[in-house]
Structure 1
Amino acid sequence: MNKKQLTETDIISKYIMPHVEKAGWDSMTQIRQEVKLRDGKVIVRGQLGVRKTVKSADIVLYHKPNMPLAVIEAKANKHEIGKGIQQGLDYARLLDIPFIFSSNGDGFIFHDKTVSEGQPIENEISLEEFPSPQQLWQKFTVWKGYTDAQMPYITQDYYDDGSGKAPRYYQLQAINKTVEAVSRGENRNLLVMATGTGKTYTAFQIIWRLWKAKQKKRILFLADRNILIDQTRINDFQPFGQAMTKITGRTVDPAYEIHLALYQALTGPEEYQKAYKQVDPDFFDLIIIDECHRGSASEDSAWREILEYFSSATQIGLTATPKETEDVSNIDYFGEPVYTYSLKEGIEDGFLAPYKVVRVDLDIDLQGWRPEKGQIDKNGELIKDRIYNQKDFDRTLVIDERTDLVAKTISAYLQRTDPMAKTIVFCNDIDHAERMRRALINHNPEQVKINDKYVMKITGDDELGKAQLDNFINPKKAYPVIATTSELMTTGVDAKTCKLVVLDQNIQSMTKFKQIIGRGTRIDDRYNKLWFTILDFKKATELFADEKFDGPPEQIMNSSSDAITDLEDSAFDDEFGDTINDDEPAAGEVSETPASYGDTAADGEWDKEESDYIKYRVAGVNVTKVAERVQYYDTDGKLVTESFKDYTRNTVLKQFESLDDFVKSWNEAERKQIIIDELANHGVIWQALEQDVSKDMGPFDLICHVVYDQPPLTRRERADNVKKRNYFTKYNEAAQIVLNTLLDKYADIGVSEIESKDVLKVAPFDKMGRPLEIVKNAFGSPKAYKQAISELEQALYDDQHSA
């Protein structure tokens, strides 16, 4: 066979794989084909979200399962030998590997990042010269600078249960870079990974490798919330089995090797509560600190004393949101992150859900509210005379009509989209969460009649509400649907199917904002959770525009200076005595009482009703919605306000500058579906465009009309135009019947239907015989049938548009 006619798959099987295996690579353990590194970014418009298609790396070569070494990109022989190099370089960047090969079956272009200065980075080698595993591993270890002492750490495999689950590329990078750092004797390490990217699973694999390599024998996993410990023990850490225990009752049992503990269970303000002192300072040789941006980040935290007591241990901090303020710093303690995987990267790769933002402006929030002279509130309190603004509402001043309008807006959104979409409403405090629960119940009477758990307040003070948390986060449980909360659900709550995050809370802290947004960023394809909506009543989403939102963490702590506080917050605190810190939801840091160090009921909540300031309550205020606008996550990670028609116009014009360019490409395409799919891959969601413009037009007319302002034709009009021309007279009777039927299917469904290879299997063709019979009887051969379809498409689009 002519080599030039072989497909890419043939080139791999006939030329590349035989020579790779001949070089000594084991096909069972060292070679993986079609390695999918990304999931495909989700594009959202309207109420629809679709994934972009992503390519897989053709071949990845491994020293061991945890150690990728090289990527091979193959192309058909009709292409130049080095055509796949740039694609391979992109995959190599994700895998953090130095060796890239490109081949068309004639040989290889070898891109080698390990070469010495002055040597060529790329060389052409023959098929027979492909390097052996030993050759690449030796070059790799020299490039990495590994010592003999590091090898037990480096070469230990990650945990594999045989199910096929393996760390994603960024998790593997995080694991390997952390293990490498520990192997070099670096005992303070920070991992920054966006919420929903599997920090705990990554931590498990790090512990597993260090533990199995016998380099770390006693390990402590620290968290500050019971739910984090229990989720970890039951899920990701389950393979540790009998070697693992959860520290309870303030007793550290030396019989176990893997210990999971709440900070609160290990320490307290009284000496007798400091359970960690039961063991020697060198008892643990590895400590993993989950959500390290909270308690352990502050120098004067009572919880930091645990880390300082076990200072000889290797300590690894995990966080999605490293805290960097003037007086608190993760970087100051742990050092610069060994690896960072951001929300933006997660969305681009398709591992995290993108979001659309619905900003709602209320007149009272924009204009403020001032009491009448001598006005008293519902409780008989004289309302202090000043202008109350958005920051005051539901914090120092409750306006019943505002609460009601927010609840009405949330309910209306759910009713017109999906009334059963899991929703978290973030309120200012527990009192606000309770009032919001009541208002939402009153605006959803039909749903509440079906199940009275449709709306639940899930806060630290409410045992019934907290008991429903597991049901809320369980995708298999329909109820509760709406959870109103204050602090309890800001972090550590793995609500994979949460589709709506409502912000009616004053959020000043970037750390807290990131944590709250993280409640919606998980993707769950099984339950069609690909994206989520943020309904913002407090302008909190303006923080998306802050360069610190998804930028690298920068240390700004100044240990020698006095603490600098936000002046506006400070003025508020001076006047109203509200001492809660938006950054610190953990109960133990608000009030270090003996109770706060136990398994606290509040578990991070703090009821401001116990504070000494007065919260005024008024009713009878006219509150209206002034504006509502929708913003989408754009391709560059920014929020943009534009209609889907605007988005389509901008996207298509980047591909086809003029109408002539588009029509020419459309007419020359062997299959129109190729162009349709390509535009979909750039974010043109056809279903959304049909809903926005017309369901009767095909993709060609939708683009001509929306992008190039051309008068459109419906599919039925195009089909009728072809019939009017007596187009079919050149075909025999059997062919005319087939083509007429195909034309009707085009009018009903679209061009993709007549191009489908299965169209002859469905009604009414199924009554005419088998597909091959139909083709032979009507057209003589498959080639002639294919030509007839091509000519039919030309006839369909042969009109005024083909300028």
Structure 2
Amino acid sequence: MSINKAKLTETDIITKFIMPAVQDAGWDLMKQIRQEVKLRDGKVIVRGAIAMRTTVKSADIVLYHKPHMPLAVIEAKANKHEIGKGMQQGLDYARLLEVPFIFASNGDGFIFHDKTNPAQLETRIELSDFPTPQQLWQKYCAYRGYTEAQLPLITQDYHDDGSGKAPRYYQIQAINKTIEAISRQQNRILLVMATGTGKTYTAFQIIWRLWKSRQKKRILFLADRTALIDQTKKNDFQPFGTAMTWAKNRTIDPAFEIHLALYQALTGPEEHQKAYKQVSQDFFDLIIIDECHRGSAADDSAWREILEYFTSATQIGLTATPKETEEVSNIDYFGEPTYTYTLKEGIEDGFLAPYKVVRVDLDIDAQGWRPEKGQVDDNGELIEDRIYNIKDFDRTIVIKNRTELVAQTITSYLQRTDPMAKTIIFCNDIDHADRMRRALVNLNPEQVAKNEKYVMKITGDDEIGKAQLENFCNPKKAYPVIVTTSELMTTGVDAKTCKLIVLDQNIQSITKFKQIIGRGTRIDEKFGKLWFTILDFKKATELFADDRFDGVPEKIMVTKPEDIIEDEDGSFIDELTGVEPDTEDGSTDGINEPEQDYDSGSGSDLGEMDSDWGDDQDEKRFIKFQVSGVTVKKIAERVQYYDSDGKLVTESFKDYTRKTIQKQFTSLDDFTRKWQNADRKQAIIDELANQGVIWQALAEDVSKDLDPFDLICHVVYDQPALTRKERAENVKKRNYFTKYSAVAQKVLNALLDAYADEGVQAIEGKDALKANTIVAFGRPLEIAKKAFGGAKQYNAAISELEHLLYQSSNEASKKLA
């Protein structure tokens, strides 16, 4: 009996035609073929307090030479479509995987897109002519220019612990490109990957493949903070087991092959501190430099000498923020990045959390403060007579009421959103972090009474605070909730559930700014972390305007403290969490000041770094004026968003919905016609949701009694709206049910009632006939057959029911007459 292809689903086409053709060509089902390969997670869209992911389609089939070494993409469609219908979709997946071979099929054959043959990019081939693994691999090697000498390293297996954990598509690209570069004898490599995208895991897989192939036998992993080494050893590098050691006590033990070390443990200003000289210059074959934008970037850095001593080793720099200033350059040392994956790409792919910004402006910051002639501070020190401004506060002078107001604003924000939301407050220095902690403790007595670790200072000088860093980062540990810091937590801290980042620190460095923002960009869906908020008191977020910043915010609000502190009815929080249009550009009208190298000590504390020689530094006596009794007041507020042109505009969520839908439907008639003609209304609803129209949030803003059709007619086209209940009642009044059997009439009435309560999905959903009010009539197939004459007749009745629900575009107008 012949198969009627036209009636087969896409899944049937894959199972009955495509997979047999691929396997007949010699592809191994277990090792070389993967189906339904999801490459992205789906961008998180935030509307108010509601967050959702966009729907992500998966590549139907990906073919591999070996696991994590992709070669080709196959995109299938049902036979009712043209044979090459899936090509553009396949090309998109191939771009992410960086593979040159794309096949599209409807079961009749394949359209083969071959980037290795630019003279004839696309050809049609029969099912029986699908290329073998050897044919594609040979073409791929020629395309990439691989030599026989390169192949053993390029084809070395990834680490697989059997847990099912697999590298993401961009990690595969970074790993494979690095291995390929090393196979070509490239010895300086830079990987630029946004914070939270798994740089350390990527480094582990690179090291593993080089180590297992014996291309690199002794490896050094360098970092500048204890927390980074500790996290690396316990987590990603754990499979190295007994081959790995943490080089402490200024000792390099040649018995081990994988060495983890702090820069500070290997060198110092005195010759006896230069532990790296204990071994020969060719001892290490490979050096990985984590966070290489910091100390190792500068030519005259004390830490650069380690890299220059082991100059024959392959050196790989990892960073989220390649430092490029007049004085410091990573690119000068490492060369152009071998691979880059940006914050913007991470947010678009759904691997990183989006964020919104609340700017709080204080009058004293904008206007400055000048002491009276001869005025002394609280300690009797004569205050220098000049105007002090936002750059001075908490650095050269402390206005105590300002600290109290900032702490009160943070407390009120948390109380109205989530008092247990993990929060990092970045202060100017350790003294400022101390005072901020104290102010927050006094403002949160009930929370502190429950657990004294509710607010803690975590800085380099405080062993008790540093001991709590792991608990703060652990999603399973509730405490600490709020931490104050200055430099220690700017980078390398994997706090997945951090929901609030507070900026009360002078930041001019785009490098530092991106690192701080990175503390919140990790996603942890299990613990409800999909997005985060930045509360900015020092205009630091004006750095979004910098061309080197690639992750634009969901929303920027400029406000005043009492809108957070004093608004008893909660309208500020409603405004804050109620309207976040997508943004495409980070331009602002803010200032752009020259970047500062914060590693030089500008704005930082030596005590924040893990240093073995910091105590030997000569320190000049420094006076920080302490001033009480200065009134700190609010200033004006405004709510601002970025439009697609990068201009600051005032826009509500309804405005965003209107603009989004008008791009797709030119008029009310266009919309109603396409709505009525759609086989499934839910398809239109889902498509608009993927464009950022979150119906739940819009209904909260307008009315929960309207379905998406009426929400659009009302919000976008200014039409009066009918509620779902009114639409259902209008259908019942028309008595069109009388042509059906008694049972069918009861089923249709029950479906209308369900529509009135839940919306159109209650009619169209696959479980519509399983509702409690309908199940008494029998099983779905039984109902369709007995009440309507069969599934075809049932579907026709549902189509008619939907048509009647939305039949007259004049209904709402008649309602008002």
Q: Does 1:436 align with 2:432?
A: no
- Distance of 1:183 and 1:632 partners within structure 2: 48
User: How has the CA–CA distance of structure 1 residues 585 and 127 changed in structure 2, closer, same or farther, with 3 Å as cutoff?
Assistant: farther
Q: Does 1:593 align with 2:595?
A: no
The answer on whether the counterparts of 1:360 and 1:629 sit within 8 Å (CA) in structure 2 is no
Deviation at 1:634, TM superposition (A): 7.5
2:290 maps to which residue? 290
- Distance of 1:88 and 1:704 partners within structure 2: 36
Deviation at 1:256, TM superposition (A): 0.8
The answer on whether the counterparts of 1:247 and 1:265 sit within 8 Å (CA) in structure 2 is yes
1:760-771 matched pairs, under 5 angstroms: 760-771=769-780
Q: Letter of the aligned partner of 1:477 in structure 2?
A: K
- Distance of 2:759 and 2:217 partners within structure 1: 64
Indicate the percent of aligned positions where both proteins have the same amino acid: 76
User: How has the CA–CA distance of structure 1 residues 202 and 523 changed in structure 2, closer, same or farther, with 3 Å as cutoff?
Assistant: same
1:671 maps to which residue? 680
2:74 maps to which residue? 72
The answer on whether the counterparts of 1:290 and 1:319 sit within 8 Å (CA) in structure 2 is yes
2:477 maps to which residue? 477
Match of 1:745 among 745, 754, 757: 754
Moved more, 507-516 or 247-256: 247-256
Q: Letter of the aligned partner of 1:593 in structure 2?
A: W
1:626 maps to which residue? 635
User: How has the CA–CA distance of structure 1 residues 493 and 569 changed in structure 2, closer, same or farther, with 3 Å as cutoff?
Assistant: closer
User: How has the CA–CA distance of structure 1 residues 460 and 631 changed in structure 2, closer, same or farther, with 3 Å as cutoff?
Assistant: farther
2:566 maps to which residue? none
Q: Does 1:26 align with 2:28?
A: yes
Moved more, 487-496 or 528-537: 528-537
1:364-513 matched pairs, under 5 angstroms: 364-513=364-513
Q: Does 1:239 align with 2:260?
A: no
The answer on whether the counterparts of 1:92 and 1:98 sit within 8 Å (CA) in structure 2 is yes
1:528 maps to which residue? 528
Moved more, 19-28 or 205-214: 19-28
The answer on whether the counterparts of 1:224 and 1:586 sit within 8 Å (CA) in structure 2 is no
Deviation at 1:252, TM superposition (A): 1.1
Deviation at 1:526, TM superposition (A): 1.1
1:52-451 matched pairs, under 5 angstroms: 52-115=54-117, 119-451=119-451
Q: Letter of the aligned partner of 1:789 in structure 2?
A: I
1:793 maps to which residue? 802
- Distance of 1:801 and 1:29 partners within structure 2: 60
Match of 1:580 among 598, 601, 610: 601
Residue 464 of structure 2: SS of its match in structure 1? Answer: helix
Deviation at 1:44, TM superposition (A): 1.3
User: TM-score normalized by structure 2?
Assistant: 0.90
Q: Letter of the aligned partner of 2:46 in structure 1?
A: V
Deviation at 1:629, TM superposition (A): 5.0
Deviation at 1:588, TM superposition (A): 9.2
Q: Letter of the aligned partner of 2:477 in structure 1?
A: K
Q: Does 1:713 align with 2:716?
A: no
User: How has the CA–CA distance of structure 1 residues 641 and 348 changed in structure 2, closer, same or farther, with 3 Å as cutoff?
Assistant: farther
The answer on whether the counterparts of 2:509 and 2:594 sit within 8 Å (CA) in structure 1 is no
Moved more, 397-406 or 44-53: 397-406
Provide Cα deviations, 1:40-88, integer angstroms capped at 9, x if missing partner.
Answer: 1111121121111111111111111132111111111121222222111
Match of 1:731 among 714, 728, 740: 740
Provide Cα deviations, 1:135-165, integer angstroms capped at 9, x if missing partner.
Answer: 1111111111111221121010110111221
Residue 358 of structure 2: SS of its match in structure 1? Answer: strand
Q: Letter of the aligned partner of 2:757 in structure 1?
A: D
Deviation at 1:718, TM superposition (A): 2.1
- Distance of 1:180 and 1:640 partners within structure 2: 47
Deviation at 1:461, TM superposition (A): 1.5
Moved more, 506-515 or 435-444: 435-444
1:557 maps to which residue? none
Length, aligned pairs only: 769
Deviation at 1:482, TM superposition (A): 1.1
User: How has the CA–CA distance of structure 1 residues 497 and 631 changed in structure 2, closer, same or farther, with 3 Å as cutoff?
Assistant: farther
User: How has the CA–CA distance of structure 1 residues 633 and 37 changed in structure 2, closer, same or farther, with 3 Å as cutoff?
Assistant: farther
User: How has the CA–CA distance of structure 1 residues 532 and 787 changed in structure 2, closer, same or farther, with 3 Å as cutoff?
Assistant: same
Deviation at 1:374, TM superposition (A): 2.9
Moved more, 665-674 or 379-388: 379-388
Match of 1:651 among 660, 671, 674: 660
Q: Letter of the aligned partner of 2:522 in structure 1?
A: R
Deviation at 1:717, TM superposition (A): 2.4
Deviation at 1:589, TM superposition (A): 8.5
- Distance of 2:766 and 2:434 partners within structure 1: 58
Moved more, 187-196 or 740-749: 740-749
User: How has the CA–CA distance of structure 1 residues 568 and 524 changed in structure 2, closer, same or farther, with 3 Å as cutoff?
Assistant: closer
Match of 1:6 among 4, 8, 12: 8
Residue 148 of structure 1: SS of its match in structure 2? Answer: coil
Moved more, 201-210 or 689-698: 689-698
Deviation at 1:400, TM superposition (A): 2.1
The answer on whether the counterparts of 1:82 and 1:108 sit within 8 Å (CA) in structure 2 is yes
Moved more, 410-419 or 759-768: 759-768
Residue 106 of structure 1: SS of its match in structure 2? Answer: coil
Deviation at 1:637, TM superposition (A): 9.4
Deviation at 1:192, TM superposition (A): 0.5
Moved more, 694-703 or 512-521: 694-703
User: How has the CA–CA distance of structure 1 residues 97 and 260 changed in structure 2, closer, same or farther, with 3 Å as cutoff?
Assistant: same
User: TM-score normalized by structure 1?
Assistant: 0.91
The answer on whether the counterparts of 1:263 and 1:303 sit within 8 Å (CA) in structure 2 is yes
The answer on whether the counterparts of 1:359 and 1:629 sit within 8 Å (CA) in structure 2 is no
Q: Letter of the aligned partner of 2:674 in structure 1?
A: S
Structure 2 segments unaligned to the other structure (5+ residues): 552-591
Deviation at 1:769, TM superposition (A): 4.2
User: How has the CA–CA distance of structure 1 residues 35 and 611 changed in structure 2, closer, same or farther, with 3 Å as cutoff?
Assistant: farther
User: How has the CA–CA distance of structure 1 residues 713 and 408 changed in structure 2, closer, same or farther, with 3 Å as cutoff?
Assistant: farther
Q: Letter of the aligned partner of 2:663 in structure 1?
A: K
Moved more, 789-798 or 654-663: 789-798
- Distance of 1:221 and 1:635 partners within structure 2: 42
2:565 maps to which residue? none
1:38 maps to which residue? 40
- Distance of 2:713 and 2:593 partners within structure 1: 55
The answer on whether the counterparts of 1:223 and 1:290 sit within 8 Å (CA) in structure 2 is yes
Provide Cα deviations, 1:675-725, integer angstroms capped at 9, x if missing partner.
Answer: 111111111111111222222211111111111111122222222333343
- Distance of 1:637 and 1:529 partners within structure 2: 27
The answer on whether the counterparts of 2:425 and 2:503 sit within 8 Å (CA) in structure 1 is yes
Q: Does 1:688 align with 2:677?
A: no
Q: Letter of the aligned partner of 2:23 in structure 1?
A: E
Residue 377 of structure 2: SS of its match in structure 1? Answer: coil
Q: Letter of the aligned partner of 2:623 in structure 1?
A: I
- Distance of 1:629 and 1:63 partners within structure 2: 56
- Distance of 1:26 and 1:160 partners within structure 2: 18
Moved more, 258-267 or 379-388: 379-388
Deviation at 1:446, TM superposition (A): 2.8
Deviation at 1:345, TM superposition (A): 0.7
Moved more, 387-396 or 222-231: 387-396
Deviation at 1:523, TM superposition (A): 0.9
Residue 150 of structure 2: SS of its match in structure 1? Answer: helix
Structure 1 segments unaligned to the other structure (5+ residues): 552-565, 598-605
- Distance of 1:446 and 1:415 partners within structure 2: 12
User: How has the CA–CA distance of structure 1 residues 439 and 326 changed in structure 2, closer, same or farther, with 3 Å as cutoff?
Assistant: same
Q: Letter of the aligned partner of 1:754 in structure 2?
A: I
Deviation at 1:792, TM superposition (A): 2.2
The answer on whether the counterparts of 1:68 and 1:95 sit within 8 Å (CA) in structure 2 is yes
- Distance of 1:590 and 1:629 partners within structure 2: 42
